[in-house]
Amino acid sequence: MTDSIYLDYAATTPLRPEVRDAMLPYLHEQFGNPSATYALAAEASEAIDAARSAVAGLLGASPNEVIFTSGGTESINTAIKGIAFAQQLARVGNHIVTSAIEHHAVLHSCQYLEKFGFDITQLPVDRDGLVSPEEAAQAVRKETVLVSVMTANNEVGVIQPIAEIARAVRARASELGRQIPVHTDAVQAANSLSLNVDDLGVDLLSLSSHKFGGPKGAGILYLRRGAPFLPQASGGGQERQRRAGTEDVAAIVGTALALTLAQEERAMYIERCHVLRELLLAGITAAVPDAQLNGHRERRLANNVNVSFPNADARVMLRLLDEAGIAASAGSACNEETLEPSHVLLAMDVPLSSAIGALRFTVSNATQESDIDRLVAELPGIVQQARTSASVAAG
């Protein structure tokens, strides 16, 4: 559909043309395996080294603290499991602190670790979706081996006080005579926030390339030097023995360039998206007066509007939006048979009738005001149809 409107940039972003151009040589004439020793391989190895240095500079890290992965999910799994199993092996402890609103990559990794004897504490959030640094510190105990709290939530866009959380955790760890690594899922943050790991106070940080104009199937894990870590992929000696497997040189080159561009353009991106977000929110609330914004009003990503339409069915709204040529997403995990309320919204004490009617609209600096006008014009009818459908189903 040539006139379709895309409002789901939190799900994925298009590959930037300049990133594609930078990747192409490593898919064709410079295709060498970077682990080999001949000249063609050396070109690939040098490209990875340059990409690693570029990423390290953006993170305020050393190049040897940067690990390239297949995406955000692998980066998160590797961080959490790599730290946990290393600490368990050293008999340090078996307790992990995370939050109730984490991405499923974090929550499911923690559930997996429970099978190996780990105890998981999920921190609550307030009605705005914020984790309390004080409660994070209070949850830490002598058996704690890792604290993992996201930088910005993927559903409601709420920005967590990560630096304050890390500081509070370190103070508590010092009282216990311990060093407790802090991990953050920063997958949603690269377009809008600084990723300096020292400013954030974190020991591990996860990123996914396709969220900021890079290729799918590529990601980054920052691992602070000296942090206890057990590699999760065995095989060759790639990534300094921490992540085996032949490197995807083109994806790595593209990821580094995409992250560089995203961080360089942050101020412009925030300014443009903030204008669009406010226009979108004002339009939605004018068109559907009982629509409810989910998440902190100001402490949120510049491009995120998560709105509940009480007593409407998100599945129906998404289908009708799609028929109108508008791509968005639900604040719920939907399939054809069931509508499961978002764990994020329920953790924020959003009523069930509102949680099942939540939609997430995410813009970018490529979004046009006319796109928002068209969405706002379509919404009242779509919401009414969804409410009628829900009422008929209930009756």
Residues catalogued as catalytic:
334
Nearest to 188, CA basis, from 8, 48, 20, 391: 8
CA diameter of the chain = 72
Whose tokens are 């980054």? That residue is: 220
Residue 62 CB burial class (10 angstroms; 0-12, 13-18, ≥19) = middle
144 DSSP assignment: E
Nearest to 75, CA basis, from 263, 211, 194, 201: 211
3-state SS, residue 231: coil
Contact of 275 with 257, CB cutoff 8 Å = no
Strand order in the sheet with 66-69: 66-69, 219-223, 204-208, 182-185, 144-148, 95-99, 119-123
Estimate to the nearest angstrom the gap between the alpha carbon of 164 and the chain centroid: 19
What is the rounded radius of gyration, in angstroms, for the C-alpha atoms of the chain? 22
Contact of 185 with 206, CB cutoff 8 Å = yes
331 DSSP assignment: S
